[in-house]
Amino acid sequence: METETSIQQMKELAQKLNEAARAYYQEDREIMSNLEYDALYDRLQSLEKETGTVLAGSPTISVGYEAVNSLPKENHESPMLSLDKTKDREVLRDFIGTHRTLLSWKLDGLTIVLTYENGELQKAVTRGNGTTGEVITNNARVFCNIPLRIPFQGRLVLRGEAIITYSDFEKINESIGDADAQYKNPRNLCSGSVRQLNNEITAKRNVRFYAFSLVSAENADMHNSREYQLQWLASQGFDIVEYRIVTGETLDEAMDYFAEAVSRNDFPSDGLVALYDDIAFGDSLGRTAKFPRNAFAFKWADEIRETHLLEIEWSPSRTGLINPVAVFEPVELEGTTVSRASVHNVSIVKELELGIGDVIQVYKANMIIPQIADNLTRSSNLIIPDRCPACSHEAKVIKENDVEALYCMNPDCAAKKIKAFTLFVSRDAMNIDGLSEATLEKFIARGYIHNFGDIFEIEKCRDEITSMEGFGEKSFDNLLTSLEKARETTLPRIIYSLGISNIGLANAKVICRYFDNDLNKIRHASMEEISAIDGIGPVIARNMADYFAKEDNNRKLDHLLSHLIIQKEEQTGEQIFAGLNFVITGSVEHFSNRSEVKTLIESLGGKVTGSVTGKTNYLINNDTTSGSSKNKKAKELGIPIISEEDFLKMVSKHV
């Protein structure tokens, strides 16, 4: 108990000292005196010596950043099995029976195995397929809370879950202006963060580790108790997963606690795990072909509520796409009040046969994102607007790739303008910090910026902007610093930042590479020349040719270019995919999102397109046997369908 108190003090001291250092060195302000800092630092060092524990992030140590070429694979000492699962509380109660059982959160992140030798972190390996994982030791060293040194000197192997909290997930997404580039959920972000080749990126993602199982501790007596194991790990400096001790008789109280807490937790969880406390008894039960018999998982059932559809709001985007959002009578879902859900496009509106007043069923996908599950009355009385809600100009339903969507036809729509500037400053475009969508809206409304080049001339509006509420001298100077950094950029980023419809960063790179990074050639290229590029279809070609055919667009681009220094993109790695075209579909697990897969393919000379055609060489889909339209098309054309694992094997042979 005394050790746990000391470790808690160490965490608090480290946080205070790191905040003080950040304020002093990065923000040019002092929040404590040197005397106070030194006293706290000495106290932290004393506690580390007393407990024999040094936590990741401690200011008493310096963990250098390191980049590697690849993540080596390694077999686990003992296989990591999946758990049998249920959504029925009574099935769980039958499993527990009269046995003393630990009931804990089933955290939704990435399982990691840690190995310590002589008190030092020696190795960290991902779960992988349960038999073989990836070695991510460099990355584990920069997790927020992993002990780098512990008092136990024997060999220790333990398992836990790496996660990113909802609040950190939201902060990271808020820093990404383009909604298409944002991460879909904390688990995907965590998975990609843990597998980074450069651990400096991992360090910025605030990955946390929670121990849930001790595999082995050399010559240590664990008193035949799983609970003792967890408490012992806590005494070594590990954060452990929260748990309750239950039997079948006391299960309800604990379940009610977890069911209530899940809606307010800052960490992602997709259920609970029940594990027998008696180690010898649990181990004696053995395992089935797939599952251990000493543990059972409980998955939350989707909570579905009926409500009435009140209206459909139509929200314009930078491309002119007008997204439908369902507004319904508020209902309680997973502990929060929900009254809105995205419907995505006109095709889904029609598929659900939506109408005002319909009785609809709503739920939270993964207990987070509100969705419409079904429409029980299907009146189909909804009228698709023919005017843009932002500018009142003509709106049309356009069908592309079998999906119908509503578009604003006015090129000068105010909503488009704000969204266009938001894309322009986003991470994958010009990467300008300090310009949120709300700030851009104010700047546009006050006439400070009319086109992209005006952003780099914002210094002339200093007096007006620094007098705005919430935007003082410090914020303005930070913006100028960010602008100065953004001046040096690459041609693909510039092309992408212009917001030409259907042209993402990946397509921009392909086009720039084809035209030898010569902007003059790109500006004067015909639709036929552009569509001749492998992977660039007629829609993209027409959009690009039409954009540069307009004199006003070229005038604004010249204004922007007068403020920029264009650097040539460096080609890294052997171009093993030169001449190959890939299509990526479905979810990914070894990357944060599909954009990261695209970036890797392009860095190795390949191209990524959106649809399967005769020019496609590989379709990447983790569900290789699904009956999706892309899988069917690939099979018809004889195109190989490969999993993410297959793709990574292709890369690892050469990189």
The answer to whether the beta carbons of residues 493 and 567 sit under 8 Å apart is no
What Rg do the C-alpha atoms of the chain give, in angstroms?
A: 28
Q: How many CB atoms lie within 10 A of CB 186?
A: 26
Which residues does residue 278 pair with via DSSP β-bridges, in sequence order?
A: 225
The answer to whether the beta carbons of residues 55 and 145 sit under 8 Å apart is yes
Minimal CA–CA distance to 102: which of 218, 290, 233, 220?
A: 233
Instruction: Tell me the C-alpha distance between 266 and 167, whole Å.
Output: 7
Q: What is the 3-state secondary structure (H, E, C) of 443-490?
A: HHHCCCCCCHHHHCCHHHHHHHHHCCCCCCHHHHHHHHHHHHHHCEEE
Sign of CA dihedral 344, 346, 349, 350: negative
Catalytic annotation, pick one of 106, 416, 598, 630: 106
- Strand ranges of the sheet holding 101-107, from the earlier edge strand across to the other edge: 85-86, 295-299, 269-276, 101-107, 243-246
Host H or E run for residue 132: strand 132-134
Give the tokens for residue 479. 């913006």
If DSSP codes are grouped into helix, strand and coil, which group holds residue 356? coil
Is-catalytic flag, 615? no
Give 582's DSSP letter: E
Which residues does residue 333 pair with via DSSP β-bridges, in sequence order?
A: 336
Which residues are tagged catalytic? 106
